[in-house]
Structure 1
Amino acid sequence: MDRLLPDPRTRVGYRRDGRPIFPILGADLTAPSNQQLPPAPGTDPAAPPAPLPDQDALNRLLVREKQQGERAAVRKLVEQLGFTKTDDLTTFVLQQREAQAAQLSEIERREQVAAEATAAAQAREAQAIARERAAVRRSALVALGATGEDLKDAERLLVIEDDADEDTVTEAAQALKARRPELFGGTTAAVPPAAPGGSPAGGPPPHGANMPKPGQHGADMARRRGFLTSS
C-alpha cells in the first residue's frame, strides 16, 4: 500500500526567523536538493518562487492573529455571561461598582451615627456620675449643718478624689467642719475686747501705767511712821 505524503513544496509552517518549513528535510527553496524534486502540480517550474515574508511582516501577522484570538475569547466570554456585546458588559460592571460604592458609603454613615450615639451616651453617663457624686458630698455637708452660701463654700473646700466612697466623703466633711466650724453653723473662739490702753481685757497693764510719782515712796514711809498726818 502506497503511503500518501503531502506535496514536498507545501509549507507546513515558519521558523522563528521567518524561514518556511517543508514536509521534507532540506525543503529550503535555496537548497540545491530542491532541483531534484518534481514540480508541484499546477505550478510552472520556470516561475520564480514566491517571496518570503520579512520579519516585520511576520510580526504584524502574529500580532493580528493574537488580537483576533483575544477578541474571539472576549466575545465568547461575553456570550457566556448573557450579553450580546462588550459595551453591555462594561455598563453592567460600572453599575455594580457604583452600587457597591453607594453601599459602602451607607455603611460608613451608619457607623458614624452609631459612634456619635455611643459618645453621647458616654457623655450622659459621665454627667450622671458627676451629679451623683456632687449629691453625695452635698448630703454629707448638709447633714453636718452647712446651708446656703456656707454650703457652697464648703463644697469648694471639700477636696477629695472623684471616685471616693460615701465613708470617705463623710470623714472629709467632718474634718472640714473641725477646721471651719463657721461654715456649719458654729462659732469661732471669742476674742476679748481691747482695753482702753490697747491691750486685751484681763491682760497685764501696759508698761509704765502704774509708775509711782517722784518722792511718793518716801512720803508713804513718813506717813506710816507718823511723821506726816495729812494725805
Structure 2
Amino acid sequence: MTRSLPSPSLILGYRRDGRPIHPVVGASAEDPSNDEAQVTISQKQLNTLLAREKDQGGRAAVRQLVDKLGFSSTTDLTGYLTAQRQAEQQQLSDLQRREQDLALREKTAVEREAQALVRERAAARRALLSGLGASGQDLEDAAALLGVADDADDAQTTEAAEQLKARRPELFTPRPADGAPPAAPGGFPASVPPYRPVPMDRSPGASGLEMARKRGLLPPA
C-alpha cells in the first residue's frame, strides 16, 4: 500500500511561541524505519544510561586487571597494596631514624672536639703564665684576666701575657704554699733579721772564764 505524503502547508500543531508545526517531507515512503516504533527519552534518562554503561565497563576492566595480577578479588588486591605501602613507609622511617642517629653522632663528635680544643688552649695558656711566674690562685686570676680571643695564636697570647705581667706584677711573684711572704736571704722571713752567730773565744781557759761570768763571779767582759 502506497502512502501519499502530506501537504507541506498542512499545519500539524503550534509551538509554545505560536509558530505552526508543518510536516517534514522528503523522506521515502518505502523506508522500513517508517514502521518502527519511535521511543522518546529525556536527557536525564540518557545521562543515567550512559553512566550505568560506563560504570559497568569500569567494573569489567577492574575484574580483568585483578585476574591478570593473580588475585581472586579486589579486596585481596587492596590488602596487598596496603601492605606494600606500609612496608615502604616503615623502610622510610628506618632510614630517617638512621639518618637522625648519624647526625646526632656527628654533632656529638664535633662538640667533643671543640671541648678538647678549649681544654688544650686553656692548658697551654696556663703553662705560659706559669712560666712567667704565676702560680696557685694567682695563676687562675691571671688566666681569667688574660683577655685574648679564643682563636688567638701563640704570638698574640704571649704578647697579652707579657702585658698582663707588666700591669699586674703581683700575680707573677712566687709565693710559698702557706701564703707567707717570700723568705729573705738566710731562710728567715723578711720581717725578722737573719741570725748572726757571736764569734766564740777558743783560747785556753776561755770556757772557764765564760762560765764564771754567767754565774756572776766575774764582771762581764
Partner of 1:133: 121
Cα distance in 2, alignment partners of residues 166 and 160 from structure 1: 11
Cα distance in 2, alignment partners of residues 69 and 157 from structure 1: 88
CA–CA distance in structure 2, aligned partners of residues 32 and 103 of structure 1: 75
Q: Indicate how the Cα distance of structure 1 residues 38 and 103 shifts in structure 2: closer, same or farther if over 3 A, else same.
A: closer
TM-score, normalised to structure 1, is 0.58
Query: Distance between the aligned counterparts of 1:39 and 1:112, measured in 2?
Result: 78
Deviation at 1:162, TM superposition (A): 0.9
Give the superposition deviation at 1:129: 0.9
- In structure 2, runs of 5+ residues without a counterpart are 1-23, 176-221
After the TM superposition, list the runs of 4 or more consecutive aligned residues in structure 1 that deviate by more than 4 angstroms. 30-35, 37-40
Distance 2:91 2:41 in 1: 56
Contact 2:66 2:74 in 1 (8 A): yes
Match status 1:106 vs 2:89:
no
2:46 is aligned with 1:58: yes
2: CA distance between counterparts of 1:178 and 1:63? Answer: 99
CA distances 1:156-211 after superposition (whole Å, capped 9, x unpaired): 11111111112221221112111211111179xxxxxxxxxxxxxxxxxxxxxxxx
- Number of the residue aligned with 2:184: none
CA gap of 1:166–1:32, structure 2 versus 1, over 3 A, is closer
Distance 1:147 1:134 in 2: 15
Using the TM superposition, give the Cα deviation of residue 33 of structure 1 relative to its aligned residue in structure 2, in angstroms.
Answer: 4.5
| 3-state SS of 2:72 partner | coil
Q: 1:59 to 1:178 in 2, by over 3 A?
A: closer
Contact 1:136 1:166 in 2 (8 A): no
**Counterpart residue identity of residue 39, structure 2:** L
Q: Is the aligned partner of 1:144 residue 2:138?
A: no
Q: TM-score w.r.t. structure 2 length?
A: 0.61
CA distance in 2, matches of 1:53, 1:94: 48
Following superposition of structure 1 onto structure 2, how do residues 72-91 of structure 1 map, counting pairs within 5 Å?
Answer: 72-91=60-79
Alignment partner for residue 142 of structure 2, among 154, 157, 161?
Answer: 154
Q: CA deviation at 1:50?
A: 3.3
Q: Quote the Cα distance in structure 1 between the aligned partners of 2:88 and 2:152.
A: 52
| Residue in 1 that maps onto 2:165 | 177
Q: Percent identity?
A: 51
Q: CA deviation at 1:77?
A: 1.4
Gapped regions of structure 1 (runs ≥ 5): 1-29, 188-231
8 Å CA contact 1:138, 1:151 repeated in 2 = yes
